Amino acid sequence: MSRYYYYLILINMIANIISAVPTILLHYGSDGAVSGLLIGIMLGLAIVICFTKFFNAFPGKTFPEMLVETTAKWFYYPLLFFMAVLWFIAGVSTLITYTFMLIRYLTPDIPIMIIGLTLFVPIIFGCFMKTDRVLYAIEIVFLINFPLIIFIIIKAYTSKDLNWDFIKKSMLYIVQMPNINVVTSCIFLFLGVVNLVVFNRFFTHKQHFGLKQVVVISFIAVSTIFTTYFIPIGFHGLKSIDELIYPWVATSDSMRMRYFLIERLVYVFLLLYLAMAFLSILIHWHVAVELFKFIFKLEKLKLKGINVGNILLVALFAVCSLYLIVTLTEYQLFQYSIYLFNISSIIFFAKIMLFVYIARRLKGAGDQADNN
Amino acid sequence: MQAIKRIITKFLILMTVSLMLLSGCGEFKDIDKMVFVSMIGIDQTNDSKKPYKIILKLYVPTSSFRQSSTPQYSYLIKEGETLAEIISILESHTDKELDFGHSKMIVIGEEMLKNEKNKEILDFLIRRPDIQMISYVGMGRPNAEEILKFVPKGETALQPTLFNYFDNDGAESSYIITSFLFDFRRRLKAEDISPILPIIEIDKPTSHFIVDKSIVLEEDKPPYELDSQKTMLVKMLSGDAKNIFFSVNRENEHFVARLDNIKVNYNLKKGENNNLSLNVKIKLVGIITESKKNLSNKELPRYSKLLEEEMKEEVEQLIHELKNEGYDPIGFGLRYNAYTLPKNRMDSKEWMEAYKNAELKVTAKSSLKSTGSVQ
């Protein structure tokens, strides 16, 4: 597979360390989180494999184009609209979480509107780039930050303050019934592959997707999820870890760099995850923007040669996200994130059925064309 | 093309001019408007309406190291009902903004610890995002205020001396327990491991700090003090000690060994009727650094044997004492739970009972490599 494909999956997994995912996982720490994670990993891998196989079979085609060819209008417009809204919300949830985190830890004196806006402006400009440029931007930012992520993870595992007894103790909760919220938020970690609905435009050549690729992805997934869930437990104990609103910020604050310029790792962590949050929102919103463009034919809305449609969309995004940033509380964010994860995992499972249907129609059409 | 270029030029000029209108960072406080807290002290008062007393040790800024080579601090002290309230009042006692981001030490007074208000203190310390989770926590004797106000001889303006005791960078003593704030929290919250804090004392005549004892806390129980030998053994059993000096006095031999390779392993097994058996295995490698008598290289195995016996005796005594009193700073309960399925785990009462009656077996293996430079 092309390396850009891995970026899509990897960024969604890594960036979710700062979203509500670890909070949800740790909230159910003694209520079936570990078994839930195991099931989530299996189901998530199934989604990754199905989505990749499907989009790989039709190189260069986006999902809306396929739907136009195979299904009726009354079906695909609502479907795409719903998906676009869902993906917009996924981006917003990361944006809100990160804004909250910034105001809590890095810049407590700056008004929350301004923080939200400074994050919003570069992201929204990025979203309107062409798909291939978005991918190039992702690659540059990701390659700069990846070594630092590895550094933090190595730092965490080699710290002598990481108590493995806590980890082992929490691991033994594997015998419990899996918790459904944990399963769905674990599946959400894998949903980076869903971005192929638009990003498939870039992958114009058919690529090899075999056992080796699956093994690589499962290795990445298992190690990221293990780190996301167990490292905070090793540093803070299982009991009352759900009291920590941002478990990973607290965890990175518990590591120290004795001989570095700054001793507190938390500032490195926050700046690093600024980049990761940027990438994650950029990917989600690029998909959302492209889908909205397709549904409302925004490119045709022109007033005196100026593209009004795009401006309208930016304004809509800005108003919605800033409104949510100002009004939501942390508890609401947590609750709504659970709903988002539940809905999105159900939707994307249902979509696999749709894929079977579309694939048959498209193949049939292809065969007919060959016969003629 | 020309038109576009002109537009871009105009736009850029406009942007540059608009920069003039910016007033700087209105929300950001300059460094001369901030004062940095170096230590936080929390004490108990006699007044029941205002139970807390907070002492903040503040760095007084100097323009250069040469100008004032002796350290200067100022102190803010206030009593009150809640910690956050006190801090907000203290902010009006200084002309600058208080910055807790560089505070590296939290000293809790002895009286405060005895009154079991640790959860309230902890809640305040964790809830404030600017207080580092990697701050050191210690108990001040006789109270936090004296520890904070004490500036030992030889302290430079670079850094308070007290930090050096704990960061394993200057002093690397096996008598000093280092407890970070996050570690204090996780031990306090977990039922199966007890919090342990170093005791900071002042040695008045020679004017320096002494940190060689520790105190173990447990819910609904008075704190339990460990003397320096026990502190060292607890640190060794927790696997934190890098090297220890251990004195052996038996069978007419009296020598001190420096053990610099220590491996400790312990496990717990549950038999019938909640009968616990606790096995501790200690492996020691080291050399002899002092002896009252002449030693012989040939007899190193015998010295090792003596060391083993002595170590076994002392460790057994320590663990017996800890389990009879019901304190668990090493985390035997945690280790037991780490290998027991959730449904088989004991609740805290059953555990306390089982822990008290646990059968203890200590095995020590040591190999002394040399008698030092002389025989």
DSSP string of B209-273, one letter each residue: EEEEEEEEEETTEEEEEE-HHHHHHHHHHTT--S-EEEEEEETTEEEEEEEEEEEEEEEEEE-GG
Q: Report, as an integer, the average pLDDT of A28-47.
A: 90
Distance CA B241, CA B233 (A): 9
Residue B195 burial (C-beta neighbours within 10 Å; 0-12, 13-18, 19+): buried
Partner-chain contact A168 B338, CB within 8 Å? yes
Q: B51 CA to chain A: closest CA distance, Å?
A: 26
Under DSSP, is residue B73 helix (H, G, I), strand (E, B) or coil? Answer: strand
By Cβ distance, the residue of A160, A169, A239 closest to B189 is A239
Please check the confidence at residue A118 and state whether its pLDDT lies above 80: yes
Question: B340 — contact with chain A (CB < 8 Å)?
Answer: yes
Distance CA B349, CA A59 (A): 64
Place of tokens 């060819």: A69
Contact A93, A340 (CB under 8 A): yes
Put simply, the chain B residues between 228 and 287 with a CB less than 8 A from any chain A CB are 240
**In this predicted complex, what is the ipTM?**
0.85
Rounded to the nearest 10 degrees, the angle between the axes of helix A308-327 and helix A112-127 is 150
- Residue B359, Ramachandran bin (φ over 0: left; ψ between -120 and 50: alpha; else beta): beta
- Which pLDDT score is estimated for A222? 93
Instruction: Walk along chain B (375 residues) and give the pLDDT tens digit of each residue.
Output: 677 888 888 888 988 887 777 665 555 677 778 888 889 998 888 888 888 888 998 888 777 667 666 778 888 888 888 888 888 888 888 888 888 888 889 999 888 888 777 778 888 888 888 888 889 999 988 888 888 888 887 777 777 888 888 877 766 788 888 899 999 998 988 888 889 999 999 887 767 888 889 999 888 888 889 998 999 999 888 888 888 888 888 878 888 888 888 899 988 888 777 788 889 999 989 888 888 878 788 888 888 888 899 899 999 999 999 888 888 888 888 898 888 888 888 888 888 888 888 888 999 888 888 887 777
Residues of chain A positioned with their CB less than 8 A from the CB of B340: 172
Partner-chain contact A253 B133, CB within 8 Å? yes
Q: Tell me chain A's radius of gyration from C-alpha atoms.
A: 21
Residues of chain A positioned with their CB less than 8 A from the CB of B186: 163, 166, 235-237
Partner-chain contact B337 A250, CB within 8 Å? no
Contact A86, A347 (CB under 8 A): yes
Place of tokens 């184009």: A65
Report the C-alpha dihedral over residues B349, B354, B355, B356, rounded to 10 degrees.
90
Mutate to test the interface with A, among B30, B98, B124, B134 (most CBs of A within 10 A): B134
Question: A363 — contact with chain B (CB < 8 Å)?
Answer: no
- Which pLDDT score is estimated for A368? 67
Up-side HSE of residue A183: CA atoms within 13 Å toward CB?
14
Question: B163 — contact with chain A (CB < 8 Å)?
Answer: no
This prediction has a pTM of 0.87
- Which pLDDT score is estimated for A287? 93
- Which pLDDT score is estimated for B107? 92
Mutate to test the interface with A, among B128, B133, B164, B267 (most CBs of A within 10 A): B133
- Which pLDDT score is estimated for B65? 67
Query: Exposure string (b/e) for B52-72, b if CB count within 10 Å is 16 or more?
Result: bbbbbbbbeeeeeeeeeeebe
By Cβ distance, the residue of A104, A235, A238 closest to B182 is A235
Put simply, the chain B residues between 177 and 216 with a CB less than 8 A from any chain A CB are 180, 182-183, 185-187, 189-191
Please check the confidence at residue A372 and state whether its pLDDT lies above 60: no
- Which pLDDT score is estimated for B156? 75
A133-142, A259-268, B165-174, B323-332: least confidently modelled range = B165-174
Question: A163 — contact with chain B (CB < 8 Å)?
Answer: yes
Rounded to the nearest 10 degrees, the angle between the axes of helix A73-101 and helix A112-127 is 140
By Cβ distance, the residue of B132, B339, B342 closest to A168 is B339
Nearest CA in chain B to A237: B186
Residue B351 burial (C-beta neighbours within 10 Å; 0-12, 13-18, 19+): buried
Nearest CA in chain B to A30: B342
Under DSSP, is residue A90 helix (H, G, I), strand (E, B) or coil? Answer: helix
- Residue A58, Ramachandran bin (φ over 0: left; ψ between -120 and 50: alpha; else beta): beta
Q: Which residue has the higher pLDDT, A264 or A367?
A: A264
Put simply, the chain A residues between 236 and 255 with a CB less than 8 A from any chain B CB are 236-240, 250, 253-255
Distance CA B110, CA B92 (A): 28
Nearest CA in chain B to A246: B129
Partner-chain contact A165 B340, CB within 8 Å? no
- Which pLDDT score is estimated for B167? 79
Residues of chain B positioned with their CB less than 8 A from the CB of A168: 338-339
Under DSSP, is residue B41 helix (H, G, I), strand (E, B) or coil? Answer: strand
Distance CA B12, CA B119 (A): 58
Question: B127 — contact with chain A (CB < 8 Å)?
Answer: no
